[in-house]
Structure formats: structure tokens, C-alpha cells
């Protein structure tokens, strides 16, 4: 256990997709925090704080809060949090509603596409962000 694992928040209302993503991320060495609604995702962002390192969210989560809302909320507290959106129908809205430095993946997708997108964003953030100096 010398390597610190990365905790990824996955917000997906379809249990089958959520399970597939969980398996894929855990096989890839990530820890996952699973939620099925936008409200649960926002609560997890508030309660888990710095422990969460990336967000994977469906756009249509079936509640009042959409994936767009969840991602904007994540960026209020963590401006550098990697965000990967998943959608079958809302892709055209990404340029206007998506947060900067995010990736959109359209359904159907291979779980490895989502895993790769999160890894790319995490790596980009790690190389672009200088070590904090406590300020």
C-alpha cells in the first residue's frame, strides 16, 4: 500500500453503467465513490472535499441537478478538478454548458475511454500545476 490511490466520484443513474464503470476504474487502480443522482453527487463533493480527485458524471441524472450542475459545483470548490461528462443526447450543449478543461464522451462508449479521459485530465493537471507553496 505504498501508492496512494485516487478517489473518483462517478455520478450515473443507470446501475448497469455505474457497475461497469466501477469495475473498470477499480481494475485501473482507482478508488470510486458511486452516486446515482446529481443531488448525491453535490453532497459527496461537499462531504468528501479534497479526497475526491476527479468527477465522472452523466449529464441526465434524473433529478433536479444535472451533470452540468454537478460539474459547476465541483469547480466552485476545486477549480482544477478533472471532469468527464457522459451523455447519449446532450453533447451539443457541451461548448456552452460544460466547464473548461473537461472531456465529453458520448454513449455508447467503452469503459476504457472514460478511464483514459480521467487519466489524461489528471496527468495534465499534475504537469500544469506547480507544487503548492502553502499560500
pLDDT in tens, 72-84: 999 998 899 999 9
- Per DSSP, what are the bridge partners of residue 105? 86
Tell me if 93 is assigned to some domain: yes
| pLDDT for the residue numbered 62 | 82
Q: Is the confidence at residue 95, as pLDDT, over 80?
A: yes
Q: CB–CB of 36/58 below 8 Å?
A: no
Q: Averaged over 2-10, what is the pLDDT?
A: 80
CATH number at residue 119: 3.40.50.2300
pLDDT in tens, 11-70: 999 999 999 999 999 999 999 999 999 999 999 999 998 899 999 999 999 889 999 999
Tell me if 135 is assigned to some domain: no
Tell me if 22 is assigned to some domain: yes
Q: Tally the domains of the chain.
A: 1
Tell me if 1 is assigned to some domain: no
**From CA 74, how far away is CA 69, in angstroms rounded?**
9
Tell me if 97 is assigned to some domain: yes
Range of the domain at 41: 7-128
Q: Cβ contacts of residue 67 below 8 Å, gap of 6+?
A: 11, 38, 57, 58, 59, 60, 61, 85, 86, 87
Q: Is the confidence at residue 133, as pLDDT, over 70?
A: no
Amino acid at each position: 500500500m505504498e501508492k496512494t490511490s485516487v478517489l473518483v466520484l462517478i455520478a450515473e443513474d443507470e446501475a448497469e453503467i455505474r457497475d461497469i464503470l466501477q469495475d473498470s476504474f477499480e481494475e485501473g487502480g482507482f478508488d470510486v465513490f458511486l452516486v446515482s443522482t446529481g443531488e448525491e453527487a453535490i453532497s459527496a463533493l461537499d462531504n468528501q472535499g479534497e479526497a475526491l480527485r476527479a468527477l465522472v458524471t452523466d449529464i441526465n441524472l434524473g433529478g433536479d441537478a444535472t451533470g452540468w450542475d454537478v460539474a459547476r459545483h465541483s469547480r466552485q470548490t476545486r477549480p482544477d478538478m478533472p471532469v468527464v461528462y457522459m451523455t447519449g443526447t446532450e453533447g451539443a450543449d457541451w461548448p456552452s454548458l460544460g466547464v473548461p478543461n473537461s472531456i465529453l464522451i458520448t454513449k455508447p462508449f467503452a469503459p476504457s475511454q472514460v478511464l483514459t479521459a480521467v487519466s489524461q485530465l489528471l496527468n495534465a493537471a499534475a504537469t500544469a500545476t506547480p507544487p503548492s507553496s502553502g499560500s
